[in-house]
């Protein structure tokens, strides 16, 4: 995540959502991410112009069909970006 804004932002991996077939929503597993070395996805402060690479963990079944991801910088961000 790169902060292209003018003030510091807090990235929270638990604010990300995978989108599955039939509009199923899968939430991130923030507890699992805490145990990963250098995951940088749990409440990471990012100053303007800086970027972080992180791992966001999801616990989903192997046969799940994913069609997208909804990205937010935090739980309080506005409209999501879809990819």
In a domain, 1, yes or no: no
pLDDT of the residue at 76: 64
In a domain, 79, yes or no: no
| pLDDT tens sequence for the chain (83 residues) | 788 889 888 888 888 899 999 889 999 988 887 788 777 677 788 899 998 888 889 999 999 999 999 887 666 666 544 44
pLDDT of the residue at 11: 81
pLDDT of the residue at 75: 63
Q: How many domains does the chain have?
A: 1
In a domain, 77, yes or no: no
Spell out the residues 6+ positions from residue 65 whose beta carbon is closer than 8 angstroms to its own: 20, 21
In a domain, 82, yes or no: no
> What range does the domain containing 35 cover?
9-71
pLDDT of the residue at 81: 46
In a domain, 81, yes or no: no
| Distance from C-alpha of 73 to C-alpha of 2, rounded to nearest angstrom | 10
pLDDT of the residue at 77: 66
């Amino acid at each position: 995540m790169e902060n292209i804004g003018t003030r510091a932002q807090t990235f929270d991996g638990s604010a990300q959502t995978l989108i599955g077939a039939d509009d199923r929503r899968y939430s991130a597993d923030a507890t699992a991410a805490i145990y990963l070395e250098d995951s940088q996805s749990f409440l990471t402060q990012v100053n303007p112009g800086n970027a972080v690479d992180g791992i966001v963990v999801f616990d989903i079944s192997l046969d799940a069909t994913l069609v997208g991801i909804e990205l937010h910088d935090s739980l309080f961000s506005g409209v999501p970006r879809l990819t």
